[in-house]
Structure 1
Amino acid sequence: MDKFDYRIDETAEYSNATAPSIVHLNERNYLTFEGQGKFDLNDATFKDTVAAMYDLADGIKQAASTSKALDWFRDYQPYPLNSYWRTDGSYMLMVKQPNFTIPELLPVAKEMVKDKYPQEILDNIHFTRQEEGYEVQSNNHGPLTADSTVWDTLNKFVDQHHLTVTDKGHREVYLTNLLTTKSDDWDILVRQSISSDVTKAGLGIITN
């Protein structure tokens, strides 16, 4: 069986288009880390946490490829890092995991990197399963700031289609690796949660 690559098989959900679209984030597995503060790769702890998320996603893939506990396995490209930023100053770092993965793979992956990262960081990275509903999205090229045009793009789309934003926070999906790509070349997919009545608007909705 061919390798699964979200960049090929889920291009609409991980779009680099600036034209807005709507995705339905159904139930899926995630690696998650809950934190407090702001996006700052100059902060050593935040940078270490980001790096640990990338490494653990790679470690789960490696563990899954040899695990006898899985019902099945398909080689895959690890999903991109994403984050959800709340208005109270808290955030969640997340990396989607294939549906065939299981929580028991995370301790194996942590063992692989235990000497690279503080134990406090590793202890606070968890394997979860959750459904997030509908989000409107648009791509931002370069660093994301309060003045980025993506906010106007999303606001105009929401207003034009009479949609309801249900959370003042937002999600950032890092289509390029934050640690190996220059910030001017980042592609960040920005998403905002919207209510389920989007289905009445007659818009195309992407579901994976």
Structure 2
Amino acid sequence: MDKFDYRVMESAEYSKETVPSIVHLNERNYLTFEGTGKFDLTDSNFKETVSAMYDLAAGIKQAASTSKQLDWFRNYEPYPLNSYWHTDGSYMLMVKQPNFTIPELLPVAKELVKNKYPQEVLDQIKFTRQEEGYEVQSANKGPLNKDSSVWDTLRNFVDQHQLTVTDDGHREVYLTNLLTVNPADWEILVRQPISHDVTSSGLEIITN
């Protein structure tokens, strides 16, 4: 069977277009890390945690490929890192995992990198399953800040279609690797949560 590549098979959900679209984030598996602070890759602790998230996502893929605990396995491209930022300074780093993965793979992945990261960082990274609902999204090129045009793009779309934003926070999906790509070339998909009544709006909703 061919390798599953979300960039091809789920290209609408991980759109690089600035034209807004709506996604339904149904129940799915994630690696998660909860913290407080701000997005700052010059902060060694934050950068270390971001690196650990990438490495553990790769480690789960490796563990899944040889695990006898899974009902089935399909080779896949690991999903991108994303984060959700609340206005109170708390955040969650997340990496979606294929539905066939199981929590038992995470300890195996942690064992692979135990000499690279502090144990307290690894202990805070969990395997969870959750549903996040509906979000409106638009792409941003380069580092994201309060003056980025993507905010106006999203606001105008929400107002035009009389949608309801349900949280002051937002999600950032890093379509390029934060640690290996020059910041000027980052592609960040910005999302804001909206209420479920979008289903009666007549707008197209992307679901995978």
> Partner letter of residue 107 of structure 1?
P
Q: Give secondary structure in 1 for the equivalent of 2:39.
A: coil
One-letter code of the match for 1:39?
Answer: F
The aligned amino acid for 1:77 is: E
The reply on whether 1:52 has 2:52 as its aligned counterpart is yes
For structure 2, the 5+ residue unaligned runs are none
Give 1:140 shift. Answer: 0.2
AA of the residue aligned to 2:13: E
Q: Give the aligned residue type for 2:83.
A: S
Residues 121-144 of structure 1: CA deviation (Å, up to 9, x unaligned): 100000000000000000000000
Per-residue deviation, 1:72: 0.2
Cross-structure match for 1:2? 2
Q: Residue 78 of structure 2 aligns to a residue in which SS?
A: coil
* Mapped partners of 1:43, 1:117: distance in 2: 15
Which residue of 2 is the match for residue 168 of structure 1?
168
Mapping of 1:1-208 within 5 angstroms?
1-208=1-208
Structure 1 position 188, deviation (Å): 0.2
Work out the CA distance in 1 between the residues paired with 2:90 and 2:58: 26
How far 1:166 moved relative to its partner?
0.1
CA distance in 2: counterparts of 1:159 and 1:116, whole angstroms:
47
**Displacement after TM superposition at 1:44 (Å):** 0.4
Secondary structure at the aligned position of 1:91 is classed as strand
**2:163 partner amino acid:** L
The TM-score with structure 2 as length reference comes to 1.00
Count of aligned pairs between the two proteins: 208
Q: CA deviation at 1:184?
A: 0.2
Provide the rounded CA distance (Å) in 2 between the counterparts of 1:200 and 1:58: 39
Measured in 2, the distance between the counterparts of 1:201 and 1:69 equals 43
Distance 2:120 2:195 in 1: 36
Write the letter of the residue equivalent to 1:206: I
1:188 is paired with a residue whose SS is strand
Letter of the 2:108 counterpart: V
Aligned-residue Cα RMSD (Å) equals 0.2
5+ residue gaps, structure 1, are none
Identity of aligned residues (%): 80
Query: CA separation in 2, counterparts of 1:60 and 1:188?
Result: 24
Provide the rounded CA distance (Å) in 2 between the counterparts of 1:116 and 1:39: 22
Distance in 2, matches of 1:199 and 1:113, equals: 43
Secondary structure of 2:188's aligned partner:
strand
